[in-house]
Structure 1
Amino acid sequence: MSINFPTRLSWENFHRVIVEGLKVYAFYLAVLSLFRLFFILWLNDYWGPQTNSADIVLALWRGSRLSMQTAGGLTLLSFVPAFTAHYLLPKIEKYLWLGINGLLLMALSIFYMASFPYYRIYRMNFNQMIFTGMNEDWGALFWTMVDQYALPARFAGAMLLAFVLWYLLRRLLIWQMPLLPIAHWPLWGKLVIRAAFLALVYVAVLLGIFGGSLGWQTAVDWENAGVTKDEFLNEAILDNPQAIYRAYNLNSRMLACNGLDFTMEDIQQLAANLSGKPADTNNLDVYLQRTVVQGTEQPPRHVFVILSESLANWPLLDKYKDIPIAEDLRGLVAAEDTDYCPTFLPNGASTVSAVTGSVAGVADANLYLTTMPESFAAPYPTASAPQMAKLGYETNFFYAGPATWERIGAFTQAQGFQHFYSRGDFGDVPGSVWGCEDECLYANIMERLTAAPSFNIILNASNHSPYDVDVEAKGFDKEKVRAALPAAYQQDEELLRELGHYWYAQRELVKFVREVKAKYPDSLFVIVGDHGDRYNIEKQPDMYARYGIPFIVTGKNIHKGTLLADSAGSQIDIFPTLMELTAPKGTGYMALGQSLTTTSTKGVNYGFWITRTAIGKADTVPLVPEAIADGETPVIDDQAMQDYINAIRAISWWRPKYGPILDQKILDEKGR
């Protein structure tokens, strides 16, 4: 059976090719809508507790309107070449229709199959993490997808789905719609029918342009599509191409700094407000100067900052105390020489943000520091290693994975670390594509630890997909954890495997801390997660449970009350806190953040802010606090928090990229 296309110049000919375009448009709209429906139904365990059928219908309707725009864009990709060939090269027209749409359906199917595990990991449809992944170790990513996410099976399924869709589209194009018998109608009748047809095409074009609307005033796009009260449904409203477009758009804003609309005067005033100094200089470094307020005359011998992969804070909350995955960490928090801040944020949504926050001392503000040439010219003044070296510490960075990941080896050494150790330095040790097992990492660190004072940042990797550590062989009581879970999640084997890796990571971490303390009692540890947003017990956790990470400080000079009672912060506050715990009073240093022992009562990162009592999104005006504990929603000083958010972002944007001097000419010369 073949597709026949007339080639003569006539209304019938024009009508025929336009109808083929409308068929393709309707087909894509139907496919995207059915994809959305199946996605919502298959992932029903992510629905919010109050979600009802009305919410689902609204999401499907809103999504179908948005997908009109997607369907229009996809149709154009084949319609324009086919329409051109229809008149110029009619013999290849049908191959263009089928070939181009075959490739598009293949891409759609691949993205759709990938969207299910992607949502489970990130609790979002495709987002900016797909662009962060461009800088990842592609080999490690590939084998993770093979080992944990059944890449071969999913790819085969995507190809089968694409073929079925392509076959159905081909049948649709073969099918010829019956035409009205207007050949013998009077001219006015023919004109009416043709005008109605053109009006239909016009409406279809408008719906495609404006996302299910006839004008921009009521247009649906990715920014206003989420209208339900359910976060999952709001994400499901976006079809995969729209989600990818959202990610691209936001990433472009980041790269172009469009989201940081600060003038030089704005940055200067914000920096002055942050430092408490008058806005009388355009040198940012003046505003970054800090002085140790309390300090110590008995500094610790060894200082460790442990960035523990996916070490979320929620397992330490009372709500989850009966789930036995954090008993060792809870025991450490309870110790007399330990203090704990439960209101702490990661620097960003990925590990690399934690690295830049703890190494360079700046927030995640639309720059990818590990790939920027400026990061390799000289250490930033806020970098932790050179300033700790001035206090007499040898500086080391230990990473469980390969030195080439995110250029981490070159980056940390360019930022002042005297020594960098990675998996290649540890010999033939077990692990995944992302790094060696935590116990092997800590054992190698212990071998290199001497009596000489040292400052060490440690980045482990075991609590990371593909979650292939044999945790049960290492002592994880899977059945005990299963019994402690809510009934709805007791058969979720993937969740149990993830919880087992949290248990393993925290156990090995605490064993390492105790081993170092036994050998060098005068050591100091800061323990934080690199990020926390990977898995939770609930499918729809609240903002605090989803994004919070712990800040634990233990060892030399630490006691209950070392940290402020109302302390809160983010990873840019790690180094200022260390300065208060390691340097004499009055010591000068450079930092963007503040110490949790003296000043820091709020934290901010790429998308959120936190205090001891509330958390919220950083980009709403006004800010909307969400209570951390049950009870009345706390009131915050909206303007003060907005100024703090803007100051952190503005300085973290300008200083790493353009240097200390605020000058519009620099921006104009380098370009945004």
Structure 2
Amino acid sequence: MFSMFFAGVQQDFKLAVLPPILCALFRLAFILIYRDKKTPSGEWGKWLTCFRYGFWWGMDFNAYVYLYSMVLVSIPGAFFASYYTIGDTVRQAGLLVYAVVLYTAFIGRLIFYYHFHDIYNHLLLLGRHADKKNFADIFFNQNHGTWILLSYIPYVGLCYLASSWLLALPSIPYPTFNTSGWQYAFNTAFFLAAIAIFYWFRYGGTFRHRRKPEWDEVPSVVKDEVFMGKAVIDDLIILEKLWHQKLHPSLTHSDEESDKIMAPILHGGKDAADHPFTTFERYAEGARIHKPKHIFVLFLESHAQSAFDPLYEKLHLMDASKAFRKDAHTISIENFLPGGMISQPSIVSLVSGIFDADMELNENQEFWKGALPTSLPNQLKQLGYQTNFWYGGPLTWSSLNHFIPSVGFDRSFGGPDICGKDAPHTWLGVYDHIFLEEVAKRIEGDSDERPSFHFIYTTSNHGPYLLPFEELGFDIDKVMPEMPEALRRDKKNWRRMASAWYADQSAMKFVHEMKERYPDSLFIVTGDHASGVLPLDFDIVPRREPNLRERFLTSFAMSHPDLTRDMFKNATIGSHMNILPTLIELIAPKDFRYYAIQPSLFEPIDHVVTPYCWMTQDAIGNYSERIEQALRVSAEALPIQRDCERFKAEQAAWCELTGWTVRHIEQLHG
């Protein structure tokens, strides 16, 4: 009986060799696809350490292949001979399922990195409420989804052949002893060793759980390079970490704990702790411009600051916006952080007046019943404005049909509703120029005489970039005559840039028309977040990875006939959360009371903090990666400082405010 267990464990161990090899191959493929330097020449120590540490860290999951086979096959097979005969088939089936899981996670990593220049992070958790049709559209049309699905066939076939070869390797014969005592002693020792070997591999070559490989222990030779620091960690390890981060810690805190965490942003003692929003009460200094009849906030999909940088001048992506910015009455800020890393938390943060902090306030049904004191549309209504929300897509996206009215908008319009179901559209929404033409038409035809505020959110500058750009006016020879020939031949990349160009042209055409019709209008143009539109691998710049400002900064420009650049001469950094108070300070009468969690752009701002990033006049940092980099335009890759978390207490306080609000839903007013 024990001889069958002895033979079975050896089969278990043979198969357990394959998953670490697959993970190493996936790590190598990831490096070869996305890293600038493809060979270990001159840095063998870094490569070997990356693969060595990655192997041991990955065993936290891979060791279970061995345990699965031993517990579900070898142990019962020792008692049931008929089951023992099919043991290799059961082992192999389990291994192939796990191999498919590894491959799926790896393919997902490649796609995620392609879009976000990062391995799996918290943004993945926000996908559960996203439009699954849009995901499918991007997967099949931008990321060659059909070929990816077909690749499973040879992959599984190769895994089957490799595992069959491993199982066919000769095994050590079961040793026999002259006395039963020695035989039992060997059997006991082997059984205990079979169990111990699982723990030894799972704990990274040690029996001490506390010494398991972790991010903090990654050798500095690997971690000091951002990319290799990402390559060292296997996909299932990342996904496990994300799984445990589902519930934001602030949602589980007591009020006493929240008071301490929010202390850096609250002023006013016990009353402020019990009623945090009182500390954000402000009084306007008096209108700085003539009150505009129309206020437009254009919230443009993926309108990133990096596309304005001189490095990419020859691509002409933002020529329309650059012309808009040149006007003497337009001010722009080149270092501007969004309220979220993707669309949904950005828009929720801006209109609600507090950071969404990835808690998906728009999907929380309690937030469908009222608005916070910091609500942007509600406070503009107090100044006499009718508030309108225009979105190029369906209002069912992210439950906007419920959230937008509750946050204070009088009216809301979805692109398919106002443009017709047959209007040309992507999965996200109606083509920008068609959508914006209809918005303009409806604004012009509106009989309401009240001043109006229009929040306009576009959709077209988004993967899979399949719009008929040539029909929409994009002539590559006229628009981008200096485009490198290699980039010209890469249709996937230049279509991404064509999308940015088209969206910018459409938005600025709308602004120009509204300016002509309503000369006293106030315009704010910003993006929902940054985007990976820049072609870093076509000799435009000598690197393949974006600098942090390119990864995180969105655009910002503001225009009105009474604005002068001297009014904002000290405004060099800002964020979405500075827009609300700036609007109020521009148009509100003296002593008008309003609520804003951050100051206006008229006040000196020496640093900006969001739940994701921080920024000073000369540096920018990211909290999730704990890295810092100089805040300047550079063709070269700027040095990265690791283990940096400036203003961490303030960042925690902003997140805590959102968690406290979710726990104290009575702050909402219907």
- Normalising by structure 2, we get a TM-score of 0.87
* AA at the equivalent of 2:499: H
Partner of 1:587: 592
Partner deviation per Cα, 1:81-122 (whole Å, 9 max, x = no partner): 324542566536445323333322222222323332221111
Out of 414, 419, 436, the residue aligned to residue 422 of structure 1 is 414
Distance 1:651 1:552 in 2: 28
Distance 1:170 1:481, change over 3 A: farther
SS in 2 for 1:152: helix
> Displacement, 1:314?
0.7
> Displacement, 1:406?
0.9
Out of 208, 212, 237, the residue aligned to residue 215 of structure 1 is 208
| Within-5 A mapping of 1:269-280 | 269-273=263-267, 277-278=268-269, 280=271
Distance 1:82 1:485, change over 3 A: farther
Partner deviation per Cα, 1:181-216 (whole Å, 9 max, x = no partner): 743678899799778866864663234322344434
* AA at the equivalent of 1:647: A
SS in 2 for 1:456: strand
* AA at the equivalent of 2:630: E
Please say if residues 300 and 457 of structure 2, whose CA atoms lie closer than 8 Å, have aligned partners that are also in contact: yes
> Displacement, 1:319?
2.7
| Within-5 A mapping of 1:558-577 | 558-577=563-582
* AA at the equivalent of 1:228: K
Distance 1:74 1:356 in 2: 43
Partner of 2:539: none
* AA at the equivalent of 2:356: D
Gaps of 5+ in 1: 1-7, 662-672
Distance 1:85 1:582 in 2: 78
Distance 1:645 1:517 in 2: 38
> Displacement, 1:52?
4.3
Partner deviation per Cα, 1:263-282 (whole Å, 9 max, x = no partner): 14315533424xxx455442
Out of 591, 595, 608, the residue aligned to residue 603 of structure 1 is 608
Partner deviation per Cα, 1:328-363 (whole Å, 9 max, x = no partner): 111111111100111111112210011111111111
Partner of 1:652: 658
* AA at the equivalent of 1:560: R
Q: How many residues align?
A: 644
* AA at the equivalent of 2:588: A
Distance 1:573 1:566, change over 3 A: closer
Partner deviation per Cα, 1:605-638 (whole Å, 9 max, x = no partner): 23211123221134688x85634367999x9xx9
Distance 2:185 2:68 in 1: 30
Out of 518, 521, 524, the residue aligned to residue 522 of structure 2 is 524
Distance 1:266 1:488, change over 3 A: farther
Partner deviation per Cα, 1:14-63 (whole Å, 9 max, x = no partner): 22222222122211111211222222223344879999444333322221
Distance 2:409 2:258 in 1: 32
| Within-5 A mapping of 1:402-413 | 402-413=394-405
* AA at the equivalent of 2:509: K
SS in 2 for 1:304: strand
Out of 359, 362, 379, the residue aligned to residue 354 of structure 2 is 362
Out of 434, 439, 445, the residue aligned to residue 433 of structure 2 is 439
Partner of 1:165: 159
* AA at the equivalent of 2:494: L
SS in 1 for 2:524: strand
Distance 1:516 1:356, change over 3 A: same
Q: Please, which moves more after superposition, 328-337 or 593-602? A: 593-602
Distance 2:48 2:645 in 1: 39
Partner of 2:24: 33
Distance 2:29 2:616 in 1: 39
Q: Identity of aligned pairs, percent?
A: 22
Please say if residues 576 and 594 of structure 1, whose CA atoms lie closer than 8 Å, have aligned partners that are also in contact: yes
Partner of 1:177: 170
Q: Is residue 244 of structure 2 the alignment partner of residue 249 of structure 1?
A: yes
Out of 455, 470, 473, the residue aligned to residue 475 of structure 1 is 473
Out of 122, 130, 134, the residue aligned to residue 128 of structure 1 is 122
Gaps of 5+ in 2: 537-543
Please say if residues 213 and 220 of structure 1, whose CA atoms lie closer than 8 Å, have aligned partners that are also in contact: no
> Displacement, 1:553?
0.7
> Displacement, 1:235?
1.8
Partner of 1:204: 197
Distance 1:343 1:256, change over 3 A: same
Please say if residues 338 and 560 of structure 1, whose CA atoms lie closer than 8 Å, have aligned partners that are also in contact: yes
Out of 224, 235, 243, the residue aligned to residue 229 of structure 1 is 224
> Displacement, 1:165?
0.9
Distance 1:88 1:454, change over 3 A: farther
Q: Please, which moves more after superposition, 179-188 or 381-390? A: 179-188
Distance 1:144 1:150 in 2: 9
| Within-5 A mapping of 1:480-559 | 484=482, 491-538=489-536, 539-559=544-564
* AA at the equivalent of 2:234: D
Partner deviation per Cα, 1:384-442 (whole Å, 9 max, x = no partner): 11111111111111111122211122111121111111122121211211111110111
Distance 1:164 1:620, change over 3 A: closer
* AA at the equivalent of 1:245: E
* AA at the equivalent of 1:626: A
Distance 1:223 1:453, change over 3 A: farther
Out of 233, 236, 239, the residue aligned to residue 234 of structure 2 is 239
Distance 2:483 2:180 in 1: 75
Please say if residues 403 and 422 of structure 1, whose CA atoms lie closer than 8 Å, have aligned partners that are also in contact: yes
SS in 1 for 2:239: helix
Distance 1:306 1:48 in 2: 45
Partner of 1:399: 391
| Within-5 A mapping of 1:305-316 | 305-316=297-308
Q: Please, which moves more after superposition, 286-295 or 39-48? A: 39-48
Distance 1:541 1:358, change over 3 A: same
Please say if residues 51 and 232 of structure 2, whose CA atoms lie closer than 8 Å, have aligned partners that are also in contact: yes
Distance 2:64 2:252 in 1: 25
SS in 2 for 1:436: coil
* AA at the equivalent of 1:239: D
Distance 1:639 1:85 in 2: 52
Over aligned residues, Cα RMSD in angstroms?
3.4
* AA at the equivalent of 2:632: I
Distance 2:280 2:357 in 1: 17
Distance 1:416 1:432, change over 3 A: same
> Displacement, 1:294?
4.0
Please say if residues 4 and 78 of structure 2, whose CA atoms lie closer than 8 Å, have aligned partners that are also in contact: no
Distance 1:543 1:401 in 2: 30
SS in 2 for 1:562: helix
* AA at the equivalent of 1:137: D
Distance 1:264 1:34, change over 3 A: closer
SS in 2 for 1:34: helix
Partner of 1:667: none
Distance 1:215 1:149, change over 3 A: same
- Normalising by structure 1, we get a TM-score of 0.87
SS in 1 for 2:316: coil
Please say if residues 432 and 466 of structure 1, whose CA atoms lie closer than 8 Å, have aligned partners that are also in contact: no
Distance 2:425 2:436 in 1: 13
Please say if residues 57 and 213 of structure 2, whose CA atoms lie closer than 8 Å, have aligned partners that are also in contact: yes
SS in 1 for 2:335: strand
Distance 1:522 1:566, change over 3 A: closer
